[in-house]
Structure 1
Amino acid sequence: MTADLYEEARSYFLQKAGLYQLGMVFCEKYRSLDHWGGVVKMEKLSTEEKVDLSSFFRRDMIKKEQFRISYAAFSTAWKKTRFAAIPLENFLAQLYPGQLLSKQETAAEIEARRQQIFTELLQQYSCEKATNWLRALQTQKLRLSHLEFYERKQLLGLVAKALSMLPDGYERLPFFANRVSGNPHTLDWNTDAGKVFLQALSFLANGAVYGTVEDKNNLFYMFHLLRDDILNFATVFGLQALAKETLLLYWQTAAQSLSPLNLPFREIVRAEQILPFGESAGTDFLVYIVENSGVFSMLLDALQKSNKVVPLLCLHGQMKTASWALLDRLAASGAVLLYSGDFDPEGLIIAQKLRQRYKQVRLWHFSADEYQKTKNYLTEGRLKRLQGICDIELQPIVKLMQEWKCAFYQESLINILLKDVMSSY
C-alpha cells in the first residue's frame, strides 16, 4: 500500500511542474542546511506552474511574480493531501534524482574515498619521493589542480610509480615515460599525467616554478630527466671538459683553435668536470659570463685577435637548462662566476637567480655606479617585474631603475669589459 502511495505521489509531482520544482528547491535547501527546513524563493514561474502551486497550497498565487515559501508551510499543505501518510522528507528523498545527501555528507563521502585511495597507494609505493608527495596530497599540504584527479587512482598511481622510478643518471623523458608506462608520451606535459607529474616534481623541488618551457626543462633536469637536448645549448669559449678523468677532445680542439663552441644540453651533461683550457685542476678560476651574443662576439673578436684564451660564456638573454647544467659543473669545479648583464628588469632577474643558486657569483660591472640614464624607457609592465627583486646587492640598481624608468645595455660598457677580459690570465 505504501509503495503504491509513493508511486502515486511521485507520478503526481512529476506531472505538476510547479510542485516538482518546489520539491527540488527544498532538496537543494536540505543539501545546504543538512536538515529539512528554511525558506525558498520562487520566481519566474509560468502560469501553469503557479496554478499547480495555488491548487496545492489552496490559495491564489496566480497574480504574484515571486513569493517565499517556508518548509513548514510546505509540510502543512502536504498533510492535507491524500499522500499525508508518507512523511514529506521521505517522499522528497525518493523524488530527488540520485542519492539525496547534504553537502557535508557528500564531502565526507568524497573525503573517505580519497583517503582510501591514498592509503592503498601508500601501501603500494614506499619510495621516499612518492611517499612524501602522496602524504602531502593526503593531508592537503599540496592540492591538485583539478578536483577530479583526487579520485583517479590509476592517474595518481602512475605518477607515484614515476616518482619511485626516477633515474640516478640522466635519461631522456620519452624513454623514462616508456619505462614507467610502456608509452613514451604518457608524461608529456599536455597530458593529465604530465601535469600532475610536473606538480609533483615542483613540490619535491621545494616549489620550483614551471610556468615557461625553460622552467619545465630545468625542473626535469633537476631530477635527471632530459627533454630538449639538441636545441637547448650554451655557447662557451676557452674551456675544457673531462668525463671519467678523460679530456673530451672536441672541447679541447675548439679551445686550441680559438673557436667558440655551441654545446647542446646532451653534451654538457656528459662532462663531469669543466676547467679553463690547459689547466689540470681548478680553484677559484674566473669565468666571464655575458647576457647577449653581441657582447660575447665583441669580446671573442678581441681574444682571437690577441691569440688569447679566457673562459667566456654567453647566456643568450635567457637561462636555458643547458646554461644551468654548464654553470652547475663550473661551480662544482671551483669557478668564480663573473656576471655582466643588461640593466633592465630581465637582466636583474637573471643576476638574482644566479646569486641565489651559486655562492661563487660576482657582479661584473653591474652596479648602480655603472647604470646610466638613457632614453630606452621601460614599460610599466616590465617595471613591475622589479618587485620580485629582493637581492640586497641589486637593490641600489632597482631603486634607480624605478626612478629613471629606463634600460641601459651592456654594449655601452664594452670597453670596460674588454679591458678586464684582456688583462686576465
Structure 2
Amino acid sequence: MTAARFDRPELAPLWAAVRRRFEATAGPVTRIRLHGLEPAERAALADLLGLAYTPESEMTVSVRALDRILAAATGGLDTRALVEAIGGPLSNRVEDRRQRAAERADLWQWARRHPMVAAEPALLTWLDRVRAGGLVAGDASATRALLEQAFEILGALPATGEPLAVLAAQLTGDSHALDEDSRLGKIVLRALAALHGVDPPTDAEGRRRLWECSGVACDELSTVVLVAGMRPEGNGPLARGLRAWADAGQASVVTLAQLNRYPVGPLHGPVFVVENPAVMAVALRRFGATCPPLVCVAGWPSTAAIMMLRGIAASGVPLRYHGDFDGEGLRIAAHVMSRTGAEPWLLRAEDYRRALPGSGPPAGRVDDAPWDPRLAEVVRAHGTALLEEVVVESLLADMVAHVDGDGADEDIGTRAGEDPPAGRPLG
C-alpha cells in the first residue's frame, strides 16, 4: 500500500504537526500534540490509530505507535518517511537557525572590522543601531550588500559640492539611491549622525545639514578653510594670494570654489593642523611672517578643509594634527586622520596625562582613538576635557623647532625622554 492513501484532508493536521516537530527538533521526537481537531479529523485519526473511541479535539499521538501502524500499512515506511513522501523532504530548521545565526555573526564581525570602522570607531554606534533595526528582509547577504554600499559612499565623502542626486548616480548608478525615503539614504545619514555625535535627523532641514557637512550640495563660497603660513609654489592666483598673506603674517580664508579651480601647489612641510582658530591666532601673534604652514579645521572640518589637506598630503608633505582631548575632539581627530592621512601631533595618552589641569569641562562620550589605544581609556578614566587652548604653549614650542629648522624629520608626537612645556590657558 502506498503513501497516497494517507494523503487525505482529514489527516492533514496530523502530518502538518509531525512536520513542524521533526523540522524544529534536533533530537528524536516521541510525541505529537494536536489541537483544535474537527469531528472529521478526529474520526480519521481514530480509524488510523485503531481506537475504539473518537478522541477529543486535543490529543497526543505516540510517534512510536504511528511508526508501527504505518510500517505495517505501507510495507516499511515510518512516520518521517511518510511525511516526506506526502509533503517533500523535511528541512532541518535547527541547523537552518544555526546557519543563519552564524551568518549574522559573520556579518557583524565583518562590519565591525571594516577599515572605515577601525579608522573612525564612532561608526560602531551606527552599526549597533543598524543591528538593532534587524536584517534587510531577514537576510544577512542583503544586509551586507547594503552596508557595502554605505561604506563605499562614506569612503567617497566629503563630496565637492555636487547635488545629492549627482553623487548618488556617480556612486550607485541610480540618482534616487540616496533619497530621503530610500533605505541606503537613511542608513548613510545615520552613519553621518554617528560620526558627528548627533541624533539621526528627523526632518528635511536636519538631513540637509548633515549632507552639507559632507560636502553634498554645499555652497562653494561659504564652505571655507582657514590657513596661515602657506607658501605654495606656482603662479596661480590662489598660490600667489596665500604667499602674500603668509608674508604679511596674516591668516587667509580659502573657499571651496577656489580649491576646485586652483589646487594648492607643492609647499614645504610639515603642515600643522589644529582644531581651534584661537590656536592659529596665538601662533600668528608669536611667529608673524615666520609662522609655519598651519591649517585650522574649526571644529568638524569642512569639505574645503579636507580637500586642501588631501591635496597637501598627495604632494608628499606630512600633516600633523592636534585637537581637543574630549569626546568630540577625538572623533574629529579620527575623522581628519582617516580622510587625509594626517598623523597625531602631541595627541597621545601621555600628552593628555602630562597636561591635564586639576579641573575642566566633562569629556563627554569618548570613542576609541585608533592611533593610540590607551588614549580613550585614560580620558574616560579622568572624565575631564583637555582643550586645545590650554596646551597652546606646548604646540607653539614644538612648532619653534621646525621654524628654526630643528627636528624637521623627527616624529612630532611626544619625544622620548622629553617633557613638553607646561600648557597654560590662552589670555
Match for residue 290 of structure 1 among 274, 279, 299? 274
1:64-88 deviation digits (Å, cap 9, x = unpaired): 9885x4433223455788x999986
**In 2: Cα distance, 1:378 partner to 1:286 partner:** 29
Give the aligned partner of residue 117 of structure 1: none
Shift of 1:226: 7.2
1:412 paired with 2:390, answer yes
Contact conserved, 1:240 with 1:252, CA < 8 A, in 2?
Answer: no
**In 2: Cα distance, 1:255 partner to 1:287 partner:** 18
**In 2: Cα distance, 1:60 partner to 1:30 partner:** 28
Give the aligned partner of residue 373 of structure 1: 358
Give the aligned partner of residue 10 of structure 1: 8
Higher strand share: 1
**In 2: Cα distance, 1:359 partner to 1:341 partner:** 12
Structure 2 gaps of 5+ residues are 100-134, 197-213, 405-427
SS in 2 for 1:369: helix
1:100-142 deviation digits (Å, cap 9, x = unpaired): 55248x97xx9xxxxxxxxxxxxxxxxxxxxxxxxxxxxxxxx
Higher relative contact order (CA 8 A, sep 6+): 2
**In 1: Cα distance, 2:223 partner to 2:236 partner:** 23
SS in 1 for 2:8: helix
Instruction: Give, as a single letter, the amino acid of the residue that structure 2 aligns with 1:292.
Output: N
Shift of 1:238: 4.3
1:363 paired with 2:346, answer yes
Contact conserved, 2:225 with 2:255, CA < 8 A, in 1?
Answer: yes
- Give matches, 1:41-60, under 5 Å: 41-42=32-33, 45-46=35-36, 55=46, 56-57=48-49, 58=51
Q: TM-score normalized by structure 1?
A: 0.53
Match for residue 369 of structure 2 among 378, 389, 392? 389
Shift of 1:148: 4.8
1:328 paired with 2:321, answer no
- Give matches, 1:42-191, under 5 Å: 42=33, 45-46=35-36, 55=46, 56-57=48-49, 58=51, 67=60, 69-77=61-69, 92-93=83-84, 96=87, 100-103=89-92, 146=136, 148=139, 174-175=165-166, 177-178=168-169, 183-186=174-177, 191=182
Match for residue 191 of structure 2 among 178, 198, 211? 211
Q: Say if 1:46 and 1:183 are closer, same or farther in 2 by CA, change over 3 A.
A: closer
Q: Say if 1:84 and 1:21 are closer, same or farther in 2 by CA, change over 3 A.
A: farther
**In 2: Cα distance, 1:290 partner to 1:65 partner:** 75
**In 1: Cα distance, 2:2 partner to 2:56 partner:** 37
SS in 1 for 2:310: helix
**In 2: Cα distance, 1:181 partner to 1:377 partner:** 42
- Give matches, 1:212-231, under 5 Å: 212=192, 227=216, 230=219
1:347 paired with 2:329, answer yes
Give the aligned partner of residue 15 of structure 2: 23
**In 2: Cα distance, 1:320 partner to 1:40 partner:** 68
Contact conserved, 1:214 with 1:319, CA < 8 A, in 2?
Answer: no
Q: Say if 1:170 and 1:410 are closer, same or farther in 2 by CA, change over 3 A.
A: closer
Instruction: Give, as a single letter, the amino acid of the residue that structure 2 aligns with 1:21.
Output: P
Residue identity over aligned pairs, in percent, reads 18
Shift of 1:360: 5.7
Structure 1 gaps of 5+ residues are 14-19, 111-144, 199-209, 217-224, 276-281
Give the aligned partner of residue 129 of structure 1: none
Contact conserved, 2:232 with 2:265, CA < 8 A, in 1?
Answer: yes
1:187-231 deviation digits (Å, cap 9, x = unpaired): 6697467799x8xxxxxxxxxxx9336969xxxxxxxx9745547
**In 1: Cα distance, 2:167 partner to 2:377 partner:** 46
Q: Say if 1:259 and 1:346 are closer, same or farther in 2 by CA, change over 3 A.
A: closer
Give the aligned partner of residue 412 of structure 2: none
Q: Say if 1:237 and 1:53 are closer, same or farther in 2 by CA, change over 3 A.
A: farther
SS in 2 for 1:313: strand
Contact conserved, 1:352 with 1:389, CA < 8 A, in 2?
Answer: yes
1:31-68 deviation digits (Å, cap 9, x = unpaired): 45799x7334527x34758956873542779689885x
Give the aligned partner of residue 413 of structure 2: none
Q: TM-score normalized by structure 2?
A: 0.53
1:261 paired with 2:253, answer yes
SS in 2 for 1:363: coil
Give the aligned partner of residue 206 of structure 1: none
Give the aligned partner of residue 241 of structure 2: 252
Shift of 1:346: 3.9
Q: Say if 1:364 and 1:288 are closer, same or farther in 2 by CA, change over 3 A.
A: farther
Give the aligned partner of residue 315 of structure 1: 297
**In 2: Cα distance, 1:398 partner to 1:179 partner:** 37
**In 2: Cα distance, 1:402 partner to 1:193 partner:** 33
Instruction: Give, as a single letter, the amino acid of the residue that structure 2 aligns with 1:184.
Output: S
Contact conserved, 2:165 with 2:175, CA < 8 A, in 1?
Answer: yes
- Give matches, 1:234-253, under 5 Å: 234-239=225-230, 247-249=236-238, 252=241
Instruction: Give, as a single letter, the amino acid of the residue that structure 2 aligns with 1:325.
Output: M
**In 2: Cα distance, 1:350 partner to 1:180 partner:** 25
SS in 2 for 1:235: strand
Contact conserved, 1:303 with 1:422, CA < 8 A, in 2?
Answer: no
Number of matched pairs: 327
Q: Say if 1:241 and 1:174 are closer, same or farther in 2 by CA, change over 3 A.
A: farther
Instruction: Give, as a single letter, the amino acid of the residue that structure 2 aligns with 1:373.
Output: G
Contact conserved, 1:288 with 1:311, CA < 8 A, in 2?
Answer: yes
Shift of 1:374: 1.0
Q: Say if 1:87 and 1:76 are closer, same or farther in 2 by CA, change over 3 A.
A: closer
Contact conserved, 2:334 with 2:369, CA < 8 A, in 1?
Answer: yes
SS in 1 for 2:295: strand
SS in 2 for 1:330: helix
